[in-house]
Structure 1
Amino acid sequence: YVMVYTLPDSSQTPFGRGLPYTGLTPPQTPPAGYVCDNTNTGAPCYLLSNLVQVFNQRLLNDLQGQPVKVLDGYSLLNQEVTNPAQFGFTNVTTPWCNPTTTSSLLCNVNTPYADAGASAANLGTWLFADTVHPTPAGYKIIASTTLQAMKGFGWISQ
């Protein structure tokens, strides 16, 4: 059995949402609270979102007629960001890990981004561990969705 995941929309991650307008002269630091608008054709996150969509469409086209099943990671992340409470999330915009942590591999229960309100107590309700990777709670949603899809495909029993 082969399952292929489409890429999630990277413009919805803290990394994508924080992309500044680099084309401004002179380059400017985004104001506090700035969020890149992936519907604005002049925004860098718009380009990022479209690159992901083009990649996913090419992937789906190339898989036509192949004996594989597809899990729509793009839609799953968009649903999590649009309806966080449905997935048990209270924060889907800020990384849980302290940004001074030098690698997401070093992020752990002892490295919360306390200035943003992260704590060991709320790790299970934040979607992003760092600027692009999910927390364990985020990965749990991916695993649960995968399990449901496998059951739906008849690959495993209900």
Structure 2
Amino acid sequence: MVLNNIEDLLEKYENGETTLKEEQQLKHYFSQETVAPHLEMYKPMFAYFLVNQQEQFTKDIPLKTRRKFNYKWVSVAAVAVLMLGFYLNQTGPIDTCQEDVMGTFCEPEEAFNEVSKSLAMISSHFNKGTQAISYLDEMDAGTSTIGYLNEIENTTSIIFKN
């Protein structure tokens, strides 16, 4: 009769319908030495629940809360700094032919000459780089020789097959 009661309690436990008192009865039954053989699989689970019930948390819990940084104010400050920078930077209309503005030229010929000098300098540096890898041409010649050897091998294989 006790076994039928335990089986009914197990069924209720699996459906999540047991009370705390009924779960305590199940824990007590499965903590005994003798358990029905067909219910042996439940014994480790309820043994774990008994051991786990006795565990206690021993670490200290900090009661001070850390202040969280409010990122909204950072974005407001960034917008304010940008707006102030734009406002202070606008001193009046900009003349395109000012000599003190860096990178601008009033005369097209002067701009053309500067661009020509810059491109000549870049070209000279690229030429130095190509001289450093000129040995690759010799390597290409070697690989073409290997290609001729492959052709000879193909012809000899044709001759010896017939």
**TM-score clears 0.5:** no
Higher RCO (C-alpha under 8 Å, 6+ residues apart): 1
TM-score norm. by structure 2 comes to 0.18
TM-score norm. by structure 1 comes to 0.18
As a proportion of its length, which structure holds more helix?
2
